[in-house]
A = this chain, B = another copy of it.
């Protein structure tokens, strides 16, 4: 119980204020417990952070994973748009986890650089493979103009990254949704037959 509340408080605070900017005492206070209680559940601050980080990554990967499931009946266009939408959903449903993922992907605390890079490599490959498959299928179905796969994947992933920044930068729902649509429209225009 407390263990989980600690994890959640930590997730929120590490995401919002960063590793160095978050004191264990804040996390404890949020849960209504004194600081040393944390050590009953986690070895130390690093351990708590890594637990939180791993959970955030797992949540993110789950979302990514899901993308590949049960979409066979959908058209390619809808599926790609669905990916962006799913990402958006993830941001809204797990704002804490997604903040963690974005923050530490770009700015890992130096002492965890390696561990973190490895974690990202994994989900990156997953996503690359998935998006690639859709592009191939799009070309096979003739809805995407015949071309190499790499440029298509690069472009799509770049769209995703761009949107992730936009999401955290502009807090407005309306603005984000407008951008999401505009951006996808342009992308699709750029690749369709």
A interface residues with partner B (beta carbon < 8 Å): 16-21, 102-103, 105-107, 109-110, 120, 150-152, 154-155, 157-166, 168-169, 178-179, 182-183, 185-191
Complex CA distance for A166 and B105, rounded to whole angstroms:
10
In the complex the two chains form, is B109's CB within 8 Å of A102's CB?
Answer: no
A162 touches which one: B21, B159, B185 (CB < 8 A)?
B159
Kindly state the separation between the CA atoms of A189 and B189 in the bound complex, as whole angstroms: 7
Q: Is the CB of A186 within 8 A of B151?
A: yes
* A169: B residues at CB distance < 8 A: 105-106, 120, 161
Q: Determine if B155 and A166 form an interchain contact, defined as CB atoms under 8 angstroms apart.
A: no
Q: Copies per complex? A: 4
- Is the pair B18, A186 in contact by a Cβ cutoff of 8 Å? no
* Chain B residues whose C-beta falls within 8 Å of the C-beta of A166 in the assembled complex: 158, 161
- Selected contact of A187 from candidates B16, B107, B190, CB within 8 Å: B190
Tell me whether B152 and A186 are in contact (CB under 8 A). Answer: yes
| Option from B107, B158, B188 in Cβ contact (under 8 Å) with A18 | B107
Complexed CA–CA distance, A160 and B110 (Å):
26
How many angstroms between the C-alpha atoms of A163 and B165 in the bound complex?
A: 11
Inter-chain contacts of A159 with B (CB < 8 A): 158-159, 162
The residue of chain B having its C-beta at the shortest distance from the C-beta of A20 within the complex is B20
Bound complex: CA of A165 vs CA of B167, how far in Å?
13
CB neighbours (8 Å) of A102 from chain B are 106
The 10 A-B residue pairs with the shortest CB-CB distance in the complex, in nearest-first order = A190-B190, A162-B162, A20-B20, A158-B162, A155-B186, A151-B182, A189-B190, A154-B182, A186-B190, A161-B162
